[in-house]
Structure 1
Amino acid sequence: MCAALGIVAAGAAYVPVGVSQPARRRERVHEAAGTVLSIGADPAAPASCEVAELLGHAPLLEPVPADPAGTAYVVFTSGSTGEPKGVEVSHAAALNTVADVVARYSVGPGDRVLALSALDFDLSVFDVFGVLGAGGALVLPREEERTDAHRWLELCREHRVTVWNSVPALLDLLLVAAGDGQLPDGLYLALVSGDWVGTDLAGRLERASSRRARLVALGGATEAAIWSNAHDGGRAPAGWSSVPYGLPLARQRFRVVDPHGRDCPDGVPGELWIGGAGLARGYRGDPERTSERFVEGPGGRWYRTGDLGRYRENGLLEFLGRADRQVKVGGHRLEPGEVEAALREHPGIGRAAVLAVGGRGDRRLVGFLTPADEAAGHDDAGGPTAGHAAAGGPTAEHAAAGHAAAGSAPADLPPDLDAHLRERLAPHAVPGVLRVLPSLPLTPNGKVDRPALEALAADLLAERGAPEEPADDVERRLADLWSRVLGAPVEDRAANFFALGGTSLLALRMITEVRGALHPGVSTRAFLADPTLRALADQLRGAGDDAVVVGTI
């Protein structure tokens, strides 16, 4: 974060690249962004230097004046072609959002925020330039503390955190860590965005905070400078199944548009378009994609979000999901097309199709692929299956599919496929389950039959081998806890949390509950190295006689 402040003060634009990003993706980001210097060693960058080297130079006497229309930062998101797309945001656009939210919720010098969002997630822009710009302070957790909700609670108490800013799932984890106790006295404002907001979140937050902390649900797009709308109170009105998108922020606008570019009547769904002062300049080095998504219309320039929504009573916007194939998995926005492109780059793979399955809170990626010599495909769909957990690589399990072509031979996953994908994709974009088919099912007009694949995915996720029953009370209690977190029975001590439908966010919730109910010393790193119920139970047994507390989970 200090690097971002220094870059902007020097008159340049910053391009955040997560340390967990694979080298191939970092190379593509640097190339697309036109990076001239990386702060910190990065072999994928054209040039890099360490912070110590920069500190050896004489400091600037004052910040370099910036053109308000100039680029402040470029944040890269998933692209459908397999190439990441860099959203180029100006100083003026970012300032419009940040200044409005700071003024609207009276953020000032007395405020502190726990900075959980990485720089390559644009919620961090408010932490760095909103809270610091208002005279407040950031509380920066160590890297190993970013996955420990109980530690977040301690940090909030120790450093008197007053403002929370995260995706809804992380606030949910904080409340789980607090249990029946109270949140820190100073916490009065929680900003949540980036994913669906649970209708129970506002009430739980209010009950857990002595100051009856205020929940604000925000929304928008990276292409419109962090946020474009807000719903104060974070509660769903009577008759609503979800928390509203709410109302536009200052100097920002929304349209709900039909396929012909006409405004939809109230109550009629359409594509959400964002206009006003928060719009990004476009996609870095990609004028074609920019002209496709940023269009001229009534009232000026608009960004076509690809989201569906509608206006309801009192001018409230309701968010209805995606109109295109873009999905949210574990709080991350991604294009299945990018994952498919990475799969097809492997020489042993012919065709690939990736889809997200599950409900809002437990979505996971399932990939279907054909061997390279079967790229032409047939109309049938079937063959062997092969699943792998997000944390553990391919499994050895293969089972016959329901509609395998007669005489088709079982096909294994290429042994190096997991490493291949992790060189090209962010960790959250690697499918949790892959299935080999002799060919992909097709519709009569030759397109991939995605409903058929969804049915196959459901069958695959329902498949179970002969379970190995939990061996003792520790494993039985863990199985009960996993069942509650995953929303499905867990009957196998060899079960892999991610293969059962777990995501990184669900894993954080599960570890948080284990620490609160069984033992506070459970290691997230050890769990990720072997995410099975049996291994987690072994970790608890190794913690000593106090490993399991008295009571029920």
Structure 2
Amino acid sequence: MNNGTTSSPPAPRRLIELVESAAARHPEAVALETPGEAPLTYRELMAAVDRLAHHIVAQHGPVPSRIGLIGTKCARTYAAYLAVLKLGATVVPVSHAAPAGRLRAIAEAADLSLVLTDNTAGPAAALAEGSRCRTVGIPDLDHAPGGDGFSRPADAPAPQRTAYILFTSGSTGRPKGVPVSHANALSFVTHNIARYRAGPGDRMSQNFDFAFDVSVFDLFVAWGSGATLVAPSAQDLMHPVRWVNSTALTHWTSVPSAVTTALGLGELTPGCMPSLRMSLFLGEQLTVEQAEAWHAATPGGELENVYGPTELTVYVSAYRLPERTEEWPATANRTVPIGHVYPHLESVVVTEGREADEGELCVRGPQRFDGYLDPKDNAGRFLTSGDAGFVPLTAGVPGPADWYRTGDLVRRDPEGMLTHLGRLDSQVKIRGHRVEPAEIEGALRRHEELTDAVVLAVEGRVGSLDLVAYYTGGDVTSRDLRGHLSALLPSYMIPRRFTRLDAFPLNGNGKIDRRALARPSDQSGEASS
């Protein structure tokens, strides 16, 4: 019986269902543009996903619960990402620029038996040599075997199943796996589709590596809304203004250092990017000077500073700057506030176990992950609250009521506005990547000529942070040290400068005095560039 009402389609329970829904609504809209390749409509993209799903099954047989993905920004890699999700597996993106040692560490931690790659002769070959992983090349989309209309497995995962696992830098010297569920990701993505009014006709940048969590925003806010995802080439990233104008981008997302790059090239002039309607910056503190320059370059566009760690599913707060610069808030450190935490999440600022106006930001809610891949990494990373205040959770599995400790020092004003003041621990952001200096120190100590090493993040010449290394032991050249680290760490973790010392300065407690090392007078040494 028809009562005159139309039932709404069921809400997506998995990321792939969100994309399929958009593709059904906008089959002929352009879904993806990649460098040097023909654009793909949503109909063409989803047909390619079906064919790749067939290919994976044909090549591997039973689908493993987790599948690694190593690829560049080509159509094959994007389609393979979705094909893994369609198969009901967890996708584990690994940077194509990661050295072999890191690849093997991630493959072991994630227990990977299958890795998809767009280049079987590249990093994946080194991975296959040193692990039990089997690598399968992603075929050209026009030649992928199998038919269209692939059906997902009958036992497709529930929303609480893991959608993807990303690996962050770990203080123990090994990467930490962060599993994010479909429910976590959908909570984030659906909120941001509405927040940024994304839809057909919008053209959204995809500046980030698949192994960097912001790629989840890029891919699924675009593909969940019917917008076009536009990927740059390496050359495009060196000239952001030129790329924005040549592709008529409407939405931009990047780290603030992109502003510094454009300024250094003399390309960021007032009114130079009229197509941009929304620009988001994250990963580093956004300075007022950077914001002013980008704001002037995007007449009529809006600019936001957003914040969040991988464990809370990309980001959890945002601050949209007023159109008139004279109305911008003044902060003591001349950075743009990170705004208010999303309304569907809860947050608290904690100092010494009590709520305060300044302290560590802690968050809970549907975007909070359920704990690290290795449960040992959970110790101390969550707070439980009760009559005794906020107490670190030292054992067991975190429950929904527990708070994730971001490790970020913030100040909250009476209206709930947050300003980021820095890290509570030694973890830093380098060009948007989260870095534990201890991991670099551990890699340096593996050099046979070095006795000890200390790595610091110091203010660079252009306002961003630079890594500098100090070491004791043999008189090794920076070229040698850079080559040593390049075999172990991603490029963004290679220090800019190396300095040999006869001994490290010590404080009154007999510990290495890192503050003394960080003084400008001590920052001599050979640059690694």
- Superposition TM-score, scaled by structure 1 size: 0.70
Q: Is the 8 A contact 2:311 2:368 kept in 1?
A: yes
C-alpha separation in 1, matches of 2:331 and 2:407: 25
Q: Is the 8 A contact 2:449 2:476 kept in 1?
A: no
CA shift digits 1:279-317 (9 cap, x unpaired): 122221x11112321343368121111110121131111
Which residue number corresponds to residue 280 of structure 2? 191
Q: Is the 8 A contact 1:97 1:249 kept in 2?
A: no
CA 447–16 in structure 1, closer or farther in 2 if over 3 Å, else same: same
Deviation at 1:7, TM superposition (A): 1.1
1:99 and 2:190 correspond: yes
CA shift digits 1:252-295 (9 cap, x unpaired): 12211012x2111x3xx2111111111122221x1111232134
C-alpha separation in 2, matches of 1:182 and 1:415: 42
Q: Which residue among 161, 170, 173 is the counterpart of 2:258?
A: 170
CA 179–171 in structure 1, closer or farther in 2 if over 3 Å, else same: closer
CA shift digits 1:157-216 (9 cap, x unpaired): xxx321111112224545766444634443211111111112144443443334x10011
Which residue number corresponds to residue 452 of structure 1? 516
Deviation at 1:149, TM superposition (A): 2.5
- Segments of structure 2 that go 5 or more residues without pairing to the other structure are 1-77, 387-399
Q: How does 1:420-459 map to 2 (within 5 A)?
A: 420-455=484-519, 458-459=520-521
C-alpha separation in 2, matches of 1:9 and 1:61: 9
C-alpha separation in 2, matches of 1:357 and 1:171: 19
Moved more, 296-305 or 56-65: 56-65
Q: Is the 8 A contact 1:246 1:317 kept in 2?
A: yes
CA 452–423 in structure 1, closer or farther in 2 if over 3 Å, else same: same
Deviation at 1:417, TM superposition (A): 3.0
1:124 and 2:215 correspond: yes
Q: Which residue among 334, 354, 366 is the counterpart of 1:277?
A: 366
Partner SS state of residue 350, structure 1: strand
C-alpha separation in 2, matches of 1:238 and 1:141: 34
Partner SS state of residue 93, structure 2: coil
CA 431–209 in structure 1, closer or farther in 2 if over 3 Å, else same: closer
Q: How does 1:258-297 map to 2 (within 5 A)?
A: 258-259=351-352, 261-264=353-356, 266=357, 269-284=358-373, 286-297=374-385
Deviation at 1:126, TM superposition (A): 1.0
Which residue number corresponds to residue 364 of structure 1? 466
1:418 and 2:482 correspond: yes
1:256 and 2:349 correspond: yes
Partner SS state of residue 56, structure 1: coil
C-alpha separation in 1, matches of 2:274 and 2:478: 54
Deviation at 1:414, TM superposition (A): 8.6
Aligned residue type for 1:133: G
Partner SS state of residue 69, structure 1: coil
Which residue number corresponds to residue 340 of structure 2? 247
C-alpha separation in 2, matches of 1:346 and 1:59: 52
1:51 and 2:115 correspond: no
Q: Which residue among 133, 150, 158 is the counterpart of 1:67?
A: 158
Deviation at 1:431, TM superposition (A): 1.4
C-alpha separation in 2, matches of 1:185 and 1:151: 12
Deviation at 1:100, TM superposition (A): 0.7
Which residue number corresponds to residue 28 of structure 1? 105
Question: Aligned-pair RMSD on alpha carbons?
Answer: 2.5
Deviation at 1:459, TM superposition (A): 2.5
CA 14–363 in structure 1, closer or farther in 2 if over 3 Å, else same: same
Q: Is the 8 A contact 1:329 1:364 kept in 2?
A: yes
CA 177–18 in structure 1, closer or farther in 2 if over 3 Å, else same: farther
Partner SS state of residue 14, structure 1: strand
C-alpha separation in 1, matches of 2:419 and 2:224: 32
Paired residue total: 418
Deviation at 1:2, TM superposition (A): 2.1
- Segments of structure 1 that go 5 or more residues without pairing to the other structure are 373-410, 464-495, 500-530, 532-553
Deviation at 1:53, TM superposition (A): 8.5
CA 232–53 in structure 1, closer or farther in 2 if over 3 Å, else same: closer
Q: How does 1:11-22 map to 2 (within 5 A)?
A: 11-22=88-99
Q: Is the 8 A contact 2:427 2:436 kept in 1?
A: yes
> Which has the larger share of strand?
2
Moved more, 177-186 or 146-155: 177-186
CA 179–349 in structure 1, closer or farther in 2 if over 3 Å, else same: closer
Moved more, 180-189 or 322-331: 180-189
Moved more, 418-427 or 194-203: 194-203
C-alpha separation in 2, matches of 1:355 and 1:242: 21
Q: How does 1:199-214 map to 2 (within 5 A)?
A: 199-210=288-299, 212-214=300-302
Partner SS state of residue 487, structure 2: helix
CA 462–24 in structure 1, closer or farther in 2 if over 3 Å, else same: closer
CA 95–444 in structure 1, closer or farther in 2 if over 3 Å, else same: same
Q: Is the 8 A contact 1:100 1:250 kept in 2?
A: no
C-alpha separation in 2, matches of 1:100 and 1:275: 16
CA shift digits 1:80-115 (9 cap, x unpaired): 121011111111111111111110121112211121
Q: Is the 8 A contact 1:82 1:341 kept in 2?
A: yes
Aligned residue type for 2:81: A
Partner SS state of residue 158, structure 2: coil
Partner SS state of residue 347, structure 2: strand
CA shift digits 1:427-473 (9 cap, x unpaired): 11111222222222223433212122223xx234457xxxxxxxxxx
